[in-house]
Amino acid sequence: MGVFLTMEGPDGAGKSTQIELLRDYLSRKGYDIIVCREPGGTKISEAIRQVILNKDFTEMSHMTELLLYTAARAQLMEEVIRPALKEGKVVICDRFVESSAVYQGIARGMGIELVYEINQYAIGDTLPDLTIMIDLDAKTGISRKKEQAELDRMEREALDFHEKVVKGYREIAALHPERIYKVDGHQTIEEIHKKIAAAVDKIIS
């Protein structure tokens, strides 16, 4: 079996940058790596992403949102993640079920039990070997996003929502310290990378 790594954090935490650095680091060590993102990573999941993040769909109910994220995940699991793990690859996924636990379970108030229960249908017993969580305050994260591109439906939520997300991640990380590695996102890119690489080395070698 391969190794399943997931990267989590509030919007603007720097996940993409850290995933690229981690991919290069592990490639140099000779690992066969697949990077995917959520929601997305397959033709169908990317189409679902267009629906979920469409800034005009402001009437989307919380349950619809949760089920769409879960559906996109089910397709990604079946088409990409499980086959890659079976082939012994290292899978790095940009967001996974912890995003649903935090955004839908905590910030939307649907409850983390419900989120994990529904996600059972999508992920079964395929859980990440390690989840890296970049911790960053909501204001910094969202102002970074504003500089980059037009904000999507989730990013347009009020600051209060993003603050709940940050708090939610801290809660989830504290609940599962054995499988979630929390790193302070206010450090330099290189400092954060070094810490992530060290945490991954511990489980991979």
169 binds ligand TMP (CB under 6 A): no
Of the ranges 82-90, 95-103, 125-133, 186-194, which one interacts with ligand TMP (CB under 6 A)?
95-103
The minimum distance between CB 60 and ligand TMP, in angstroms, equals 11
What would the x/- binding string for ligand TMP be over residues 99 to 128, using CB under 6 A? xx--xx------------------------
Of the ranges 23-31, 79-87, 97-105, 192-200, which one interacts with ligand TMP (CB under 6 A)?
97-105
Contacts with ligand TMP by CB under 6 A: the residue count is 12
Rg (CA), the chain: 16
Question: Among residues 67 and 204, whose Cβ is nearest to ligand TMP?
Answer: 67
Give dist(CA 110, CA 149) in Å, integer. Answer: 29
Quick one: angle between helices 15-28 and 189-204, nearest 10?
50
45 binds ligand TMP (CB under 6 A): no
Alpha-carbon distances of 44 from 51, 118, 196, rounded to whole Å:
11, 19, 31
Q: Which of residues 147-166 bind ligand TMP (CB under 6 A)?
A: 154-155
Q: Which residues of 120-132 are buried (b: 16+ CB within 10 A; e: fewer)?
A: eebbeeeebbbbb
Alpha-carbon distances of 69 from 14, 48, 177, 200, rounded to whole Å:
21, 8, 25, 26
The minimum distance between CB 53 and ligand TMP, in angstroms, equals 6
User: In sequence order, what are the beta bridge partners of 40?
Assistant: none
Q: Of 79, 72, 88, 78, which is closest to residue 33 (Cα–Cα)? A: 88
Alpha-carbon distances of 138 from 13, 37, 48, 185, rounded to whole Å:
9, 21, 26, 11
11 binds ligand TMP (CB under 6 A): yes
Binding residue for ligand TMP, selected from 4, 6, 14, 69, defined by CB under 6 A? 69
Reading the block at residue 33, the tokens are: 């790596």
Question: Among residues 20 and 87, whose Cβ is nearest to ligand TMP?
Answer: 20
Question: Among residues 55 and 202, whose Cβ is nearest to ligand TMP?
Answer: 55
Of the ranges 31-39, 132-140, 185-193, 197-205, which one interacts with ligand TMP (CB under 6 A)?
31-39
44 binds ligand TMP (CB under 6 A): no
- Residues of this chain that bind ligand TMP (CB under 6 A): 11, 37-39, 69, 95, 99-100, 103-104, 154-155
